[in-house]
Chain A
Amino acid sequence: MEYCAGCHGTDGKGGDKAASLAMTLSVMTRSDSELEQIVREGTMEGMPPFSQIGDANIHAIVGYLHAMEGSSASASAGAVVVTGDVHAGRSLYFGKARCAACHRINGDGGFIASDLTAFSQTHTADGILQAITKPDNPVAGTSRVATLTTIHGTRLTGVLRYEDDFSLALQTEDGRYHLLSKNELTAVAYSGHSLMPRDYADQLSSRELNDLVSFLIVAGRSSGIDSTPPH
């Protein structure tokens, strides 16, 4: 504690110089060896290396981080029980399952689909699983995919952010908003779906899906808007 409190606060919940450790996703979803490496070698972001305190101390510090995580996680756990491997879920999210290509979570990921940080705060584990395996039920008004044909014959496919009788905004995968008047279009064809892949139930094993759900639950817990006055 004496080594860390200067920056991360005496309760691990953050200080003026560095982040909260107690509830941080990067702590909860990293393996012991990764965390030990961070303490030993420091980070590019400014965390200094602490190899000088010795491996035994480093090991003890990582144990303490998990103890804080346990106490804070159980305090806010509520009804949802985490049964999968959060760390494996995180790897899937940012790796093979490609969720991060579209969805941001705790600051990381894409922009074409919604931010999933807080999704688990309003959904049960089963609800999250359904959202992943049986998507588009129903398709949200701002997530509809459409293909436009312009009066010049150009075709554009993207996400319809709004549409009325006069104009629309179609966002393509490069992030660009095509802000068009209906006069410039000859056709608007709806795919009937969002961009969310519809085959995750086949592509991922039930264990992998459970790991992903667990990751989303923990990510939601570790987030939280600080809406208190400066202290």
Chain B
Amino acid sequence: MPDAAPQSAPSPAGPLESPGLIDVKQGDLLQSPVSDNWVSYNGDYTGRRYSALAQITPQNVGRLSARWVFHPRTVSPLEVTPVVVAGVMFVTSANDAYAIDASTGKLLWHHARPLTHGLVDDAAVHHNRGIAVLGTRVYMETDNAHLLCLDARSGGLIWDVPYAHGNRNYGATSAPLIVKDTVLVGTSGGDDGVRGFLAAYDAQTGREKWRFWTIPAPGEKGSDSWPMDMYLHGGGTTWMPGTYDPSLNTLYWGTGNPSPDYDGSMRPGDDLYTSCLLALDPDTGTLKWYFQFTPHNLYDYDAVETPVLVDANFRGKVRKLIVTANRNGFLYVLDRVTGQFLVAKQFAQQQTWAKSIDANGRPVPSGLVPDEKGVEICPAEGGATNWYSPSYDPRTHRFYFRSLDACAVFQSKTEPFQEGRNWYATGARATGEGGQGYINAFDLDTLTFAWRNAQIGPYKGWGGLMSTATGLVAYGDDAENFVILDGHTGKPLWHFGVGQMIHASPMSYAIGGKQYFAIAAGSDIFAFALP
């Protein structure tokens, strides 16, 4: 070794207690709720986005102030949720990954990778929602659906595996999810005629372990919806991270709308497994059960909104539940052991596609079908909620989420599938002012809303939420502010104008006892702490 061989002071026991040393064990990923570290897109496997950190309270939040801003190269508004491990923050922007000092916002490394040209739809705007971490490695998806394994200590490329084949309309925008020693990845392209799947890769070698196709092949259950080669183009993509229950060894993953979006004529029947929640065995990819929110979906109502794992008393019995607010305008409570439907509550004030939800959770359609002239239907194609994250506070049993009350005129005409272009089979346009946004607190004990805050501001928000052990809820509002409110009353307590639209969900972390909030806003990452 050279004369200047670097030396380190002896490091304390647990890797994640040791600042600056990135070595995430599978056990670290099982910590729930999260506190100092935020180790995955949703923080922990439950999807609750609830942090145990308690330094920032309703009493002192007024003194919260910006600590730093980090500006990555950007081509479109950031959708990333930062991951923080041992004081190091990891973010992505398009195909680039960055490690930053989470206390100062200074760059530690940058893995630069060019954009892919010739993609369609979401992949063509190069959204990316972040990394996953295991051991000394970080993992990310690229716009052209490669899984990259990088050295978390340098950003050096360890391997690069292309994982979507046979259709150039595939892309990827999500953050991977690590379960045990497996990296789970999905794709975009559900509005563009790809065949959705969830794929599992060995985190060490990058070798594929299994692949679950969300559109069944000819002869399989559900294939009667997919005549001829339609199964190759049926959509049902997996463009958001799922959640995972280690005690049930079950992975919960939402699927997107069918393709083509607005024309159901070439996909008769329910269109399994689009617009579904899938319960999968993470070791084999075997389907344990599924629940379909919007059978024969004609309205672009993806079901990728986070399936939040909640253990709570439901009608007198403690149960393992899933709570999820769906793009179709209803909030669902399911039993996550069996997939049994328990209750649906309509939260969209304007909802016209379904007459009701029956006792099994199946919607009774109102019969509104997009046609060539155009039909007004609510919610609008952007959904009554969307991928922006919800949050669940296990102390107060409140489920917080953003919603949008809007309608659109849906037009549809049969068009053939074509590689290189999207496949909505015509489109939807907003009616009126484009809708009214809300931040909602849904009380699981009473199955009613504790409060609903109508959003004011010139924009329609795309900012998700998180909550903390002191009852705070953080989110991006409709007026380019990062806001913290009192979850008990819904009263906004503090805000900071970030000067750009927020298209991402916040997170929280701590270094040496100091709690931070961070959010990707527009083209920058902002971090906040008490002075």
Contacts and interface: CB of A to CB of B under 8 A. Distances in A.
Interface string B50-83: 0000000000000000000000000000000000
Interface string B331-352: 0000000000000000000000
Contacts of B106: 162, 164, 167, 169
B418 to A, nearest CB: 14
B154 A111 contact: yes
B298 interface: no
B529 interface: no
Contact of A175 (B153, B158, B159): B153
Contacts of A161: 107-109
Contact of A197 (B2, B156, B167): B2
A10 to B, nearest CB: 15
A45 B207 contact: yes
Given A173-B6, A176-B11, A227 B117 contact: yes
Contacts of B114: 225, 227
Interface string A143-158: 0010000000010111
A46 interface: yes
A115 interface: yes
Nearest to B167: A230
Given A195-B6, A198-B2, A230-B164, A177 B115 contact: no
A109 B159 CA distance: 12
Given A45-B205, A104-B151, A179-B19, A230 B7 contact: no
Interface string B1-24: 110111111010000001111100
Contacts of B205: 45
A153 B205 CA distance: 43
B168 A229 contact: yes
A174 B151 CA distance: 13
A159 B6 contact: yes
Contacts of B164: 230
Given A158-B6, A177-B101, A179-B103, A104 B87 contact: no
B431 interface: no
Q: Which of A45, A145, A164, A176 has the most CB of B within 10 A?
A: A176
Contact of A176 (B18, B151, B166, B207): B18
B472 interface: no
B157 interface: yes
B165 A230 contact: yes
Contacts of B162: 226, 230
A108 to B, nearest CB: 8
B165 A145 contact: no
Contacts of B167: 230
A179 B514 CA distance: 14
Contacts of A158: 6-8
A231 interface: yes
Contact of B119 (A112, A117, A175, A229): A229
B224 interface: no
A40 interface: no
A166 interface: yes
Interface string A63-77: 000000000000000
Contacts of B158: 104, 107
Nearest to B187: A230
A37 interface: no
Interface size class of A (residues with CB under 8 A): 35 or more
A101 to B, nearest CB: 8
A13 interface: no
A24 interface: no
Question: Most chain-B Cβ atoms within 10 A of its Cβ — which of A45, A166, A169, A196?
Answer: A169
B429 to A, nearest CB: 28
A193 interface: yes
Interface in B124-169: 136, 144-146, 151, 153-154, 156-160, 162, 164-169
A175 B101 contact: no
Contact of A195 (B4, B7, B108): B4
A177 B18 contact: no
A167 B101 contact: yes
Contact of B6 (A115, A162, A172, A193): A172
Point out which of B1, B117, B146, B156 has the most chain A C-beta atoms below 10 A from its C-beta. B156
A145 B153 CA distance: 17
Contact of A115 (B103, B136, B156, B168): B156
Contacts of B7: 156-158, 172-173
A156 B154 contact: no
B517 interface: no
Nearest to B15: A176
Interface string A201-231: 0000000000000000000000001111111
Contacts of A2: none
Question: Which among B6, B157, B160 has the highest number of chain A CB atoms within 10 Å?
Answer: B6
Interface in A105-125: 107, 109, 111-112, 115, 117
Nearest to B163: A230
Contacts of A231: 165-166, 168
B6 A227 contact: no
B6 A112 contact: yes
Give the residue among A104, A162, A174, A198 with the most B Cβ atoms within 10 A: A174
A173 to B, nearest CB: 4
A134 interface: no
A179 B101 contact: yes
A175 B15 CA distance: 12
A176 B4 contact: no
B497 interface: no
Contacts of B442: none
A161 B11 CA distance: 20
B9 A167 contact: no
A115 B151 CA distance: 11
A131 to B, nearest CB: 15
Nearest to B142: A227
B2 to A, nearest CB: 5
A171 interface: yes
A182 B109 CA distance: 21
Contact of B20 (A173, A179, A228): A179
B113 interface: yes
A191 interface: yes
Given A157-B6, A179-B102, A229-B119, 6 more contacts: A104-B157, A169-B101, A172-B6, A175-B21, A177-B87, A228-B118
17 contacts: A104-B156, A115-B154, A161-B107, A164-B106, A169-B101, A172-B6, A177-B21, A177-B101, A179-B87, A179-B101, A179-B511, A191-B4, A196-B2, A229-B118, A229-B169, A230-B144, A230-B168
